[in-house]
Amino acid sequence: MDGLPHYPLPEGVHPPLAFPGYRSTALRAPRRPLVALPHGLTELTGPLLGADRVGPDDHDLTVQHGGEALGQRIIVSGRVLDEGGRPVRDTLVEVWQANAAGRYRHEADTWPAPLDPNFSGLGRTVTDAEGRYRFTTVKPGAYPWRNHHNAWRPAHIHFSLFGRAFPQRLVTQMYFPDDPLFAQDPVLGSVPAGARDRLVSRFDLDATQPEWALCFTWDIVLRGRDATPFGDDDD
Amino acid sequence: MTERLGLTPSQTVGPYWSIGMTWPDGADVVPEGTPGAFWLSGVVRDGAGEPLADGLVETWQADPDGRFDHPDDPRGPRPPSVPGFRGFARVATGPDGTWRIRTVKPGPLPAPGGGTQAPHLDLSVFARGLLDRVVTRVYFADEEAANAADPVLAAVPADRRHTLLATPGGGGYTFTVALQGSDETVFFAV
């Protein structure tokens, strides 16, 4: 089987697996070099997961319980594209985050910040035909962790995306502009400097809703195909 | 070629991923009751040999005929030969580092550049302490002839190939992922 397309991985984008500043990598990051895997049919395909995994309130994290979630109400929206600029449509986007006080609704998160009974911190949606997604939520708080002395994670929202092919799978974190905690955070700092600002959303006054919610815009770019002998992509 | 957009970097799933990525049906590559279904189970261990208690395992595979219900399969999409076949699984590792999925053996696939790939699954591990997922392949130890002809296995040093083999047991097959150590699993750059 010749002439298959390929999703090349650009250098200088993803963090190295071993990053001493992030302590948990020490026993978890593989030590041996990765082996190249030519993209075959298992890699050119992937799960096409969409609307059947999304409930009616899943895109609005502020209304999933009896009362409204506490905190600064925000809209997080943007487009999912591939490196060639094509929209990635009908693809599942999953998010999770801490509440406004910086506390996750998770048994392993025990630092003394309050839980909000009206906030679970879980969202799901599917991109539209232009690759757009949109969540309503509250701005997550920063929180301490024990990575190093006085370590605090900058406010962030976790994102999980599939795209349509196995190499496009991406789990990442979106940050908020001008956070003074960036400089001491090894998770963001693990990203090569030239690509770091791609994880920082932009405050969007034009899309901010008067008397309602601030808007942060963040576009997500998944791996793109190289030129293919099959001719034009169907999208 | 037009200018390409900047790829979005990966970040760790962190310790709290289960809030956002837990699926009640995550283990079901095929539905319960599927004839011929078995458990593919395993354990994930860190460099100290300790079980990964907060990891996420995802798998992707062809159906038993070696087909994908996907528009980018150059042979054309084809509905799966097994009713309810999803091809994909997503499960947490438990406190003892173990995970399991309900699946069927995938068929062989034509390989890029010629030849045939032996039955396999692509398997990703996500966890706190992994800034990007790590990807390996699960082959089946009882497919000796197919494995011997597989071009991906052939490109792996012979003394490490066994780390990619699931062995019969545990109601199906078992597969160990060692993130580090003398028997570190082979991980692929995808």
Whole-number pLDDT of residue A77: 98
Residues of B within 8 A of A48 (CB-CB) are 70
Is A104 part of the annotated catalytic residue set? yes
Would you tell me which residues 101-160 of chain B have a C-beta closer than 8 angstroms to some C-beta of chain A? Answer: 109-114, 117, 120-122, 124, 126-135, 137, 151-152, 155-156
B5 domain-assigned: no
Least Cα distance to A28 among B115, B8, B187 occurs for B187
Cβ-Cβ contacts under 8 Å, A121 against chain B: 19-20
Distance from CA of B43 to the nearest CA of A (A): 14
Residues 36-55 of chain B with CB under 8 A from chain A are 46-48, 50, 52, 54
**Beta strand A151-153 pairing with A143-145:** antiparallel
Size of interface A-B (CB pairs under 8 A): 247
Distance from CA of B152 to the nearest CA of A (A): 7
Chain B residue closest to A2 (CA)?
Answer: B113
DSSP state of A200: B
Structural domains in chain A (count): 1
- Mean pLDDT of the region B102-120: 96
Q: Which range of residues forms the domain containing residue A160?
A: 48-221
Nearest-neighbour CA in chain B from A77: distance (Å) = 15
Q: CB B186 to CB A15 under 8 A?
A: no
Q: How far apart are CA A182 and CA A201, in angstroms?
A: 13
pLDDT at A235 over 80: no
pLDDT, tens digit, 9 for 90 and up, residues A108-160? 999 999 999 999 999 999 999 999 999 999 999 999 999 999 999 999 999 99
CATH of the domain at B159: 2.60.130.10
Q: What is the mean pLDDT of residues A32-43?
A: 97
Give the three-state DSSP class for A183: helix
Question: Which CATH number goes with the domain that contains A183?
Answer: 2.60.130.10
**In a domain? residue A157:** yes
Q: CA end-to-end span of chain A, whole Å?
A: 23
Residue A173 scores a pLDDT above 70: yes
Q: Does residue A137 sit within a domain? A: yes
Q: B69 versus A5: which is more confidently predicted?
A: B69
- In percent, the amount of chain B with pLDDT more than 90 equals 97
Question: Hey, of B3, B5, B8, which one would you mutate to test binding to chain A, going by the most A CBs within 10 A of its CB?
Answer: B8
Domain annotation covers residue B46 = yes
In a domain, A29, yes or no: no
Average pLDDT, chain A: 95
Domain membership of residue B105 as a residue range: 17-178
Rounded distance between C-alpha atoms, residue A64 and residue A117, angstroms: 10
Task: Indicate the average pLDDT of chain B.
Answer: 97
> In whole angstroms, what is the distance from residue B52 CA to residue B91 CA?
13
Reduced to 3 states (helix: H, G, I; strand: E, B; else coil), residue A213 is strand
Q: Could you tell me if residue A32 is inside a domain?
A: no
Q: Considering the entire predicted model, what is its pTM?
A: 0.97
Smallest Cβ–Cβ distance between A172 and the set B9, B52, B110 belongs to B9
pLDDT of residue A50: 86
Number of structural domains found in chain B: 1
Q: Is residue A19 part of a domain?
A: no
**Contact at CB, A30 and B111, closer than 8 angstroms:** no
Q: Does any domain span residue A2?
A: no
